[in-house]
Structure 1
Amino acid sequence: MRKSTLMIALVAAIFSIQSYSCDIHGKTGIMPENDLYRGVDALTGNGMTEELFNIIIDRANEVYAPVVETEGARLKFHRKWEDGTVNAYANQGGGVWNVHMFGGLARHELVSPDGFALVVCHELGHHLAGAPKIKRFWIPSWASNEGQSDYWASLKCFRRIFQDDDNARIVSKMDIDPQVESKCNAVWSDSNENALCKRMAQAAKGLATLLNSGRSVSFTTPDMSVVRKTDDKHPAGQCRLDTYFQGALCDKDLNDDVSKTDALAGTCNRVDDYETGIRPLCWYKPKTM
């Protein structure tokens, strides 16, 4: 009797934790709880407006709502433009896959509109980015972990949403980091894919600076730490920049999808002799090298 009671309690605990990938109040979403509040009247100069906030979310919803429907669920974006919270989070419940986006994060001076789109993709990634998943009591939950959600954001999501933009024209107006220029040119010969690579990388730098508590990050100083096992939690800011950049550099076909159980599917991997576009060892521990 006691064993069955303990088992029921364990299952209930797992179920309740699985319902949320982040704190339900948005305090520990894409980043830890913070006091970086940016109210609706904040003038941060990052180019974000309420109209653009909604356009970016609309474009993501147009692409991914049908994908979520194939999973037997409904995608719902919660558009909290007037809320100055600098965060975002995802959860699931009652057949609805939720993404909560806050105006405070969209308005933050380190987050460009493209950086905001990467956050939208990160939160979608908790639902759709596949393995590795966050484990609870050694059991994979519904949610892809933080590093995988970052990786998928540039590997698949941003590319899919913005592939039909005139990316070459957009990037021509940007000041591209020399390391980004070199690396993207080495991987992508197609002009649109090349421009998308640069566009994502530049967006990731500002976002990663925010995720690094405002401390600088660089494309020339990757995080060289090596985890002993895959870390499901938020990687350090430099590690997250590395992850977004590597996702942008992975030349897997956009339609080569990821898997809920196989971390190798649809991704670039060391075991397949990839040296570029691979998930950084600062959060990811491959089963085989």
Structure 2
Amino acid sequence: MGEVAHLSTDGTDGNSAAVIGGTVDSASLSGERPPTREEAEAILDRVVALYQDHAAAANPAGTHEISWRIDWDSDAVSAHVLLKPGEDWTIEVSKGYLTASSMTTEVFALTMCHEMGHFIGGFPFKTSRGGHNTGALGTSVSSEGQSDYFATKDCLPRLWANETEANAAAFAALDPSARERCTTAYSDLASQQLCGRILLASLQTGRFYEEQAVLQAPRELVYPRFDTPDTTEVAVTKEGHPAPQCRLDTLVAGAVCSVKATGTGIPGFVPPYGEYSDASEEDARPFACQTGPGARPRCWFQPDTVVTDCSELGQQACVVEDGVHGVRYCDTTSGVSYYWCFAHEVCKASGDDFADCYAPDVDPEE
């Protein structure tokens, strides 16, 4: 059975920026537009083509291929990836995602690189996916923060490397403090200009993330900025979506990290597959900046995460304490936790070891 490995509703009604530092000149935003159907399909074709060799090389070699699909009947604002044993790694996008009022071609390219990052980005993975993230799939689903980092560190530099005129124009649109991030990170003008375009797209995407987050959970709209980094520090690496400011910080870090992934391997995809382990972290270390402005921000990434050994307990199991049924979960990064059933329920495990609370007369296999 296929697993929906990631579901995001990353859209906003904000536009992009032509003058970027800590502020955005709203008067410069009117010229942005979402991609046409043909442009969206072309972007997906190009992003997928960049990494077909990674899928082909994944174990077992030659059995995986990356594909994409746009659901033109869905108005939901959705982009996600699917992994199925022995089948394609698929990026699926809804019509509503493409037509979100804040969508631009640059945001679409970046977020499709983010979706590709779930396949290719590597460690740290979404360890909570447990048994679904096995070697049989050829990869494990990268965490949300890692997918953001991959998008600007590895994917967009490959996608836009030869678009020199667009890169130069974006670099010129940055204010001096933003341009300085790129001139400090890279010594040649072409790389500086490419970095500038990625920073421009990152701020557009940060606005995109913020506005959709407010739609999902209403609060005051606070756009992420380059000069207001998230100063929080997590105790363990966060696998889900970080806050919009943290996500912008991660996109910026990827843009200025000069350490690029090489080869067709997936960084950190070593036994135990998809787990937060020392072996996985060490395998991925050469493919990311560990210190400085290009390092993954601590608002989601904690390299000193304490790992829990779940091999004896399993991912989940039924437990009974003092006559109360419950489900015990074990996650390598968040440890052991419990969910207790209501008084009229009992815990039952299905054939695939999925445990949950049911009424006594319910068969979990039906």
Give the structure-2-normalised TM-score: 0.63
Structure 1 position 245 matched with structure 2 position 252? yes
Q: Provide the residue aligned with 2:126 in structure 1.
A: 134
Alpha-carbon distance between aligned partners in 1 of 2:100 and 2:168, rounded to the nearest angstrom = 21
Q: CA deviation at 1:204?
A: 1.3
The residue that corresponds to 1:122 in the other structure is 114
Structure 1 counterpart of 2:289: 268
**Which structure 1 residue ranges, 5 or more long, are not aligned?**
1-15, 23-27, 37-42
Q: Residue by residue, what CA displacement relative to the aligned partner does 1:87-118 show, whole Å, maximum 9, x if unpaired?
A: 21011014210101233323334332111111
Mapped to 2, the partners of 1:92 and 1:201 lie a distance apart of 30
TM-score by length of 1: 0.79
Structure-to-structure mapping, 1:124-273, within 5 angstroms? 124-136=116-128, 141=133, 142-167=140-165, 170-171=168-169, 175-213=173-211, 215-255=222-262, 258-260=267-269, 261-262=280-281, 263-269=284-290
Q: 1:48 to 1:239 in 2, by over 3 A?
A: same
Structure 2: which 5+ residue stretches go unaligned?
A: 14-29, 134-139, 212-220, 270-279, 306-366
Work out whether residues 34 and 98 of structure 2, in 8 Å CA contact, stay in contact via their aligned partners in 1.
no
Give the superposition deviation at 1:151.
0.3
8 Å CA contact 2:168–2:194 kept in 1: the answer is no
* Kept in 2: contact 1:88–1:105 (CA 8 A): yes
Three-state SS of the structure 2 residue aligned to 1:286 is coil
| 33, 39, 42: which one aligns with 1:46 | 33
Instruction: Sort the Cα spacing of 1:140 and 1:208 in 2 relative to 1 into closer, same or farther, 3 A.
Output: farther
| Higher Rg | 2
Whichever residue aligns with residue 259 of structure 1, its letter is G
Deviations 1:134-181 (A, max 9, x none): 112777932000000000011111111221221565435852144321
Aligned positions, number: 255
Aligned partners of 1:177 and 1:202 also within 8 Å = no
Q: CA deviation at 1:275?
A: 1.1
Structure 1's 279 and 53: CA in aligned 2 closer, same or farther, altered over 3 A?
same
Q: Give secondary structure in 1 for the equivalent of 2:8.
A: coil
Paired residue secondary structure (1:231): coil
Distance 1:35 1:180 in 2: 23
RMSD: 2.7
In 2, Cα distance between equivalents of 1:204 and 1:177:
15
Q: Which residue of 2 aligns with 1:29?
A: 8
1:87 aligns with 2:94: no
Report what 2:56 is aligned to. 69
Change in Cα spacing, 1:276 to 1:97, as seen in structure 2 (3 Å) is: same
Contact 1:185 1:194 in 2 (8 A): yes
CA contact (8 A) 1:134 1:232 kept: yes
Q: CA deviation at 1:35?
A: 10
Q: Which residue of 1 aligns with 2:302?
A: 285
How much has 1:287 moved relative to structure 2?
2.5
Give the drift of 1:194: 1.0
Shift in Å at residue 235 of structure 1?
A: 0.2
